[in-house]
């Protein structure tokens, strides 16, 4: 039987100027969360560095590292010492010329429980990820850990209901989204508000449609465009956790780093799915066109 509840921590950070400083900041937050009784820590997308995808620069590939590697070794030692599960997010060097945006899951005994390679890769102004990342090839498979079966996805994946559904159908008990998303500072306030509302709404809808809690951990603060071409990005924070009916359980703001800690009642999935039996009523005989790019 799954555990009835789980206390989780989301580490919303601003870039500290170096990989070493960012990892030190992660460790400080992880240790604080452990003292406060957390069993699961979710770090933001690409937490070791600034969000380097604002521009295309071949020198940036030097930031990538193998898995296992230095960061997984450090997170593994923390997970083992503190007896908790850590979900991190790395720029993976898989082979020369082959790189991924990869989430790593370190179990409470320090072992590498699993990895997830980001499946949906954006290519938009300020988010030139296709230059750096090969699309994931591991599918949508939850990772079994000491605290439960985790459906780990990454940022752009959060806009796709298919990804959340696939994780739910494979038995995920919790959907987790390490994230790096922000505003173009030149966008008017009304457009910025619409973007933030859409971001929260789509993820809450995944919780509702699948009867699962959702946690999204975003970075926060302004990061300049290294090329100087654009106005940079102001990451909007607002890391949050919602329950299986989309109800907000905890939320940060867009102003500052935040260690967001919340207790999640995992047993509510069973209760909610009994009264909203979406999985029961799916018409799997009628969904074959979902395999098409578009139905002409």
d(CA 106, CA 110): 6
Tokens for 121, please give them.
Answer: 């890769």
pLDDT, position 135: 98
Q: In the block, which residue shows the tokens 């910025």?
A: 192
Looking at domain 5-291, what is its CATH homologous superfamily? Carbon-nitrogen hydrolase (3.60.110.10)
pLDDT, position 2: 55
pLDDT, position 296: 86
Active site residue 155: yes
Among residues 155, 223, 242, 258, the one annotated as catalytic is: 155
d(CA 150, CA 142): 5
pLDDT, position 1: 46
Active site residue 45: yes
Among residues 38, 45, 242, 258, the one annotated as catalytic is: 45
Residue boundaries of the structural domains of the chain: 5-291
For residue 217, the Cα-to-chain-centroid distance in whole angstroms is 6
Active site residue 118: yes
Q: In terms of DSSP H, where are the helices of the chain?
A: 19-35, 70-82, 161-169, 189-210, 268-275, 278-281
Chunked mean pLDDT (size 10), the chain, 296 residues: 84 97 98 98 98 97 98 98 98 98 98 98 96 98 98 98 98 98 96 98 98 98 94 97 98 97 97 97 95 92
Among residues 26, 118, 129, 217, the one annotated as catalytic is: 118
d(CA 58, CA 61): 6
């Amino acid at each position: 039987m799954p555990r009835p509840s789980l206390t989780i921590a989301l580490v919303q950070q601003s870039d500290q100027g170096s990989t070493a400083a960012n990892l030190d900041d992660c460790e400080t937050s992880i240790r604080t969360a452990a003292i406060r009784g957390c069993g699961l820590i979710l770090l933001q997308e690409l937490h070791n560095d600034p969000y380097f995808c604002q521009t295309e620069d071949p020198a940036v590939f030097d930031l990538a590292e193998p898995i296992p590697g230095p960061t997984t070794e450090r997170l593994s030692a923390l997970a083992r010492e503190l007896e908790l599960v850590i979900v991190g997010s790395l720029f993976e060097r898989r082979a020369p010329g082959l790189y991924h945006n990869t989430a790593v899951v370190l179990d409470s005994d320090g072992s590498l429980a699993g990895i997830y390679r980001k499946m949906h890769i954006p290519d938009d102004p300020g988010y030139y990820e296709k230059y750096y990342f090969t699309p994931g090839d591991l599918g949508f498979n939850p990772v079994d850990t000491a605290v439960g079966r985790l459906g780990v996805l990454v940022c752009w994946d959060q806009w796709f209901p298919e990804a959340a559904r696939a994780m739910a159908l494979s038995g995920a008990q919790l959907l987790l989204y390490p994230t790096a998303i922000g505003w173009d500072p030149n966008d008017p306030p009304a457009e910025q508000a619409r973007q933030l509302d859409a971001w929260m709404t789509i993820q809450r809808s995944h919780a509702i449609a699948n009867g699962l809690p959702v946690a999204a951990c975003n970075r926060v603060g302004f990061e300049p465009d290294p090329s100087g071409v654009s106005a940079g990005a102001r990451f909007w924070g607002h890391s949050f956790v919602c329950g299986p009916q989309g109800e907000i359980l905890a939320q940060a703001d867009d102003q500052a780093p935040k260690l967001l800690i919340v207790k999640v009642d995992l047993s509510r999935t069973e209760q909610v799915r009994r009264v909203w039996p979406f999985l029961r009523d799916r018409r799997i005989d009628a969904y074959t066109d979902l395999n098409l790019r578009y139905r002409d």
